[in-house]
Amino acid sequence: MATITKFEELEIWQLARQLSKKVFTLTEKEKFNKDFGIRNQIRRSVMDNISEGFGRGGNKEFITFLCYSIGSCSETQSQFYRALDYDYISQIEFDESYILAKTIINKTGSFVTYLNKSNVKGEKFKHRTETNHKPQTKMYNKLKNKEAKIAIIGLGYVGLPIALAFAKKIKVIGFDINEERIKMMQKNIDPSKELEAKDFEGCDIEFTNSIDVLKQANFFIIAVPTDIDEHKRPDLNPLYGASVTVGKAIKKGDYVVYESTVYPGCTEEECIPVIEDVSGLKFKTDFKVGYSPERINPGDKEHTITKILKIVSGCDDESLETIANIYKIIVEPGVHKAPSIKVAEAAKIIENTQRDVNIALMNELSIIFSRIGINTYDVLEAAGTKWNFLKFFPGLVGGHCIGVDPYYLTYKAEALGYHARVINSGRYINDSMGFYIAKQTVKKIIAAHKNISESRVLIMGATFKENVSDIRNSKVCDIIREFKSFGVSVDVIDPHASSEDLKHEYGFELMEKPGKKYDAIVIAVNHREYLHLDEAYYKSILSDGGILVDVKGVLRNKIKELSYWSL
Ligand SMILES: NC(=O)c1ccc[n+]([C@@H]2O[C@H](COP(=O)([O-])OP(=O)(O)OC[C@H]3O[C@@H](n4cnc5c(N)ncnc54)[C@H](O)[C@@H]3O)[C@@H](O)[C@H]2O)c1
C-alpha cells in the first residue's frame, strides 16, 4: 500500500474542501427548495460525511472517511444521482462535482485498493464510480469545449431564442434563408420583436445564409415554420427546404434535431429521406436524428426557452443521451426523454390539440349561453369553484400553433383511415368564431334601429393574441371580412401590429387613432394598452345606442350604461 505524503494529504484536503463547498452551494440553490426533502438529504449526507472525515484528522482514518463520503456512501451518491435525474442539478454542475470527486479518488487510489482488500466500503465506491456516471458522448464534449459548432436553421420566434441561449454557452451558427432578417440579427435586432438588443450580448454566434459557413457545424437544429395550406393540409415545404440545406452541410458523425411542430412520423417519413438523398449518408450509421418540440409562447417573458422543461427524443439510446445532455446546457429545469421520435412529435401536437378542443367547448358554451341570455364568464367563474373544473375560456383561436397544429394530427389520422370527429368539430367551432362575433354585432346594430350599410365599427386589436406583434392566422381578420360583407365600414387600431404587414397579408391598414361616433366597438384583443380604458372612454367614441363588444369579457361587471355584449 502506497503511503500518502503530508503534501498530498494537504492537497486532498483542499480538494475535498472545494468539493464540499461545491456540493453545499449546489444544495443551497433556489431550485433545491422545490424539494426540501431531497435538498436536505443530499446536504446532510455529503456534509456530515466529509466533515466527519475532516474531523478524524488522521491520515488513514481521514482517507477512509473521505472515500466513504464521496464515493461509497450510498445515501450521498444515490441522492446525488437522483438530483441529476430529477434535474435538480444540471449535468454541468454534476460533472464539475464529479471531476473534483474523481480527482480526490485518483489521488487516494492506493487507499481504495487497500479498502477493497480489507472489504471496507471501498468496493461499493469503486463500482459506483465506474458504472454509475454516464460518460459524456464525443459530440457533447466537442460542443462543450467549443471544438464543434451547433447550427440553428430558421431564426424566427423559436429558432432565434434557442440560438442565443446556446450562444451564451457554446459556439453557434445562426442560419436563415431570409437575407433581410440575417442583416437585422447581425445588428442585434430581432425581426420577430420578441428579444431585445441586450439578449444578443455575450453571444458567440455567426448569423449567415451561407451553406459554406453552415458546413462548419456538426449539430443542426431545424426550427422552420410548419404552416397549413389553403386546404388546411400540412405545408412541409420549409421543412423539405431546410432538410435539403442540412443535407448539403452534414458530415459523418453529425446530428440533426427537428424542432418544428409536425405530425407523428413526419421526421422519419418525410425529412430524414431528404437528408439521406442529398448527403448520400445513411441515417443512424452515418448521422443521427432527434426531435425536440418547442414550448415557447410569444409575448410570455416567464416561460422562456431556458426556463421550461423540454421534451427530447433520439433515434437510438446514444443519440437520446447526447441530445438530452446538449439541451441541458441551456434548459435549466432539464429534459423529459421521450422513448421515440414519434412519441415526442405526438406529445407536442396533443399539447395544442387539447387546448384547442377545450377552447372550442367554451366557445360552444358561449353560443348556447348567449341564446339563454347569461354571461359565459359568470358561469365559468361559478363552475371554476369546483376543485377539478378546468380553466378554459372562450375566444378567438388564431396564430400558428393552436389553430394550426391540430390539422397536422387530423391529416395523419385521415391518412390512416380515421376521421377525427372531436378534433375536427373543435376546429370548425374555433375557426367560425370571428364570423359569429361579427354576425352577433350586426344583429345588435340592426336591433338598435341603425342602418347597417351606413354603420361604422371600430375594431381594437388585430394581432392573433394580446401584447404581441404577430398577425399570423389572426382571426380578427375574419371579423373584419364579415363586417365588410354586410357593407359596414371598419376602422382598425392596434398598438403592436404593423400596418404594412396587415396590408400585405390581409389587405387592410391601421388607423393611427380611433375616430368618433362608432355604432359598435369590438375589443378583439386584450392588449395591455386597452386595460385601463373605462366606460366613459368608450361612451365618448360611440354613437347614441352604440354597442360595446368585449370578446374576452374584460369589462364584465364594469359597464353600467352602454349596450354591452361579450362571448
Ligand atoms: N412561435 C411559436 O410560439 C411556436 C411555439 C412552439 C412551436 N413552434 C413551431 O416552431 C416552428 C417554427 O415556428 P416560428 O414561429 O419560429 O416560425 P417563424 O415564422 O417565426 O420563423 C421561421 C424562420 O425560418 C426561416 N425559414 C423558412 N424556411 C427556411 C429554410 N428552408 N431554411 C432556413 N430558414 C428558413 C424564416 O425566414 C424565418 O426566419 C414551427 O413548426 C412552429 O409550429 C412555434
Ligand 1 atom nearest residue 260's Cα: 41
Percent of the chain that is helix, strand, coil (3-state, to 5):
50, 10, 35
Looking at 296, 315, 339, the residue that finishes a domain is 339
CATH number for the domain that contains residue 15: 1.20.1440.60
Q: Is residue 477 part of a domain?
A: yes
Instruction: Please name the residue whose Cα sits nearest to atom 35 of ligand 1.
Output: 154
Ligand 1 atom nearest residue 262's Cα: 41
Q: Any idea which residue has 461545491 for its cell?
A: 22
Is the pLDDT confidence value at 14 over 90? Answer: no
Ligand 1 atom nearest residue 297's Cα: 3
Same domain for 228 and 244, yes or no, is: yes
Alpha-helix runs per DSSP H in 373-462: 376-383, 405-415, 421-447
Same domain for 278 and 356, yes or no, is: no
Distant-in-sequence, close-in-space partners of 281: CB < 8 Å, separation ≥ 6 = 250, 251, 252, 275, 287
* Bridge-based pairing state of the strands 310-314 and 288-291: antiparallel
How far is it, in rounded angstroms, from Cα 255 to Cα 434? 43
| pTM confidence score | 0.76
Provide the residue range defining the domain that includes 203. Answer: 150-339
Same domain for 333 and 258, yes or no, is: yes
How far is it, in rounded angstroms, from Cα 543 to Cα 401? 38
Q: Which of 23-37, 158-172, 355-369 has the lowest mean pLDDT?
A: 23-37
How far is it, in rounded angstroms, from Cα 20 to Cα 14? 10
| Residue among 160, 195, 294 to mutate when testing ligand 1 (max atoms within 8 A of CB) | 294
Banded model confidence at residue 60, pLDDT cuts 50, 70, 90:
very low
How far the first Cα of the chain sits from its last, in Å, is 82
Same domain for 174 and 312, yes or no, is: yes
Q: What pLDDT does residue 475 have?
A: 95
Q: What pLDDT does residue 130 have?
A: 36
| Residue among 183, 224, 266, 308 to mutate when testing ligand 1 (max atoms within 8 A of CB) | 224
* Ligand 1 centroid from CA 241, angstroms: 12
Same domain for 410 and 428, yes or no, is: no
**Nearest-5° Cα angle at 120, 114 to 124:** 100
Banded model confidence at residue 521, pLDDT cuts 50, 70, 90:
very high
Instruction: Please name the residue whose Cα sits nearest to atom 25 of ligand 1.
Output: 154
* Ligand 1 centroid from CA 163, angstroms: 13
Q: Any idea which residue has 371554476 for its cell?
A: 384
Q: What pLDDT does residue 89 have?
A: 57
* Ligand 1 centroid from CA 289, angstroms: 19
Q: Is residue 556 part of a domain?
A: yes
Same domain for 285 and 433, yes or no, is: no
Q: What pLDDT does residue 77 have?
A: 52
Concerning whether 401 is annotated as a catalytic residue, the answer is: yes
Is the pLDDT confidence value at 422 over 50? Answer: yes
Q: What pLDDT does residue 93 have?
A: 63
* Bridge-based pairing state of the strands 217-222 and 310-314: unpaired
Looking at 415, 435, 451, the residue that finishes a domain is 415
**Helix, coil or strand: residue 519:** strand
**Helix, coil or strand: residue 83:** helix
Banded model confidence at residue 8, pLDDT cuts 50, 70, 90:
low
Same domain for 227 and 297, yes or no, is: yes
Q: What pLDDT does residue 193 have?
A: 87
- With pLDDT > 70 as the criterion, what percentage of the chain qualifies? 76
- With pLDDT > 90 as the criterion, what percentage of the chain qualifies? 71
Q: What pLDDT does residue 123 have?
A: 37
Q: What pLDDT does residue 122 have?
A: 35
Same domain for 96 and 195, yes or no, is: no
| Residue among 155, 158, 465, 471 to mutate when testing ligand 1 (max atoms within 8 A of CB) | 158
Q: Is residue 190 part of a domain?
A: yes
Looking at 415, 446, 462, the residue that finishes a domain is 415
Q: How many domains does the chain have?
A: 4
Q: What is the CB neighbour count within 10 angstroms for residue 69?
A: 29
Same domain for 155 and 199, yes or no, is: yes
| Residue among 400, 407, 501, 505 to mutate when testing ligand 1 (max atoms within 8 A of CB) | 400
142-157 residue pLDDT tens:
999 999 999 999 999 9
* Ligand 1 centroid from CA 222, angstroms: 9
Q: What pLDDT does residue 1 have?
A: 38
Average pLDDT, stretch 421-437? 97
Q: Using a 6 Å CB cutoff, which residues line ligand 1?
A: 153-159, 176-178, 181, 192, 223-226, 238, 241-242, 245, 259-261, 294, 296-298, 400-401
Average pLDDT, stretch 203-208? 98
Q: What pLDDT does residue 73 have?
A: 40
Which one is predicted more confidently, 180 or 96?
180
* Ligand 1 centroid from CA 19, angstroms: 43
* Ligand 1 centroid from CA 176, angstroms: 10
Distant-in-sequence, close-in-space partners of 429: CB < 8 Å, separation ≥ 6 = 360, 363, 364
Q: Is residue 144 part of a domain?
A: no
Q: Which of 269-283, 296-310, 414-428, 456-470 has the lowest mean pLDDT?
A: 296-310
444-500 residue pLDDT tens:
999 999 999 999 999 999 999 999 999 999 999 999 999 999 999 999 999 999 999
Same domain for 444 and 507, yes or no, is: yes
Instruction: Please name the residue whose Cα sits nearest to atom 28 of ligand 1.
Output: 238
Q: 82 and 38 in contact (C-beta within 8 Å)?
A: yes
Q: What pLDDT does residue 269 have?
A: 97
Is the pLDDT confidence value at 119 over 50? Answer: no
Q: Is residue 142 part of a domain?
A: no
* Ligand 1 centroid from CA 252, angstroms: 27
**Nearest-5° Cα angle at 426, 420 to 428:** 95
Instruction: Please name the residue whose Cα sits nearest to atom 32 of ligand 1.
Output: 242
Ligand 1 atom nearest residue 295's Cα: 6
How far is it, in rounded angstroms, from Cα 186 to Cα 208? 9
CATH number for the domain that contains residue 162: 3.40.50.720
332-375 residue pLDDT tens:
989 999 999 999 999 999 999 999 999 999 999 999 999 999 99
Q: Is residue 344 part of a domain?
A: no
Instruction: Please name the residue whose Cα sits nearest to atom 22 of ligand 1.
Output: 156
Instruction: Please name the residue whose Cα sits nearest to atom 18 of ligand 1.
Output: 156
* Ligand 1 centroid from CA 261, angstroms: 9
Average pLDDT of the residues of the chain? 85
206-263 residue pLDDT tens:
999 999 999 999 999 999 999 999 899 999 999 999 999 999 999 999 999 999 999 9
Banded model confidence at residue 104, pLDDT cuts 50, 70, 90:
low
Same domain for 331 and 356, yes or no, is: no
**Active site residue: 266, 271, 315, 401, which one?**
401
Q: Is residue 1 part of a domain?
A: no
Same domain for 401 and 427, yes or no, is: no
Is the pLDDT confidence value at 161 over 50? Answer: yes
Q: Is residue 181 part of a domain?
A: yes
Average pLDDT, stretch 377-395? 94
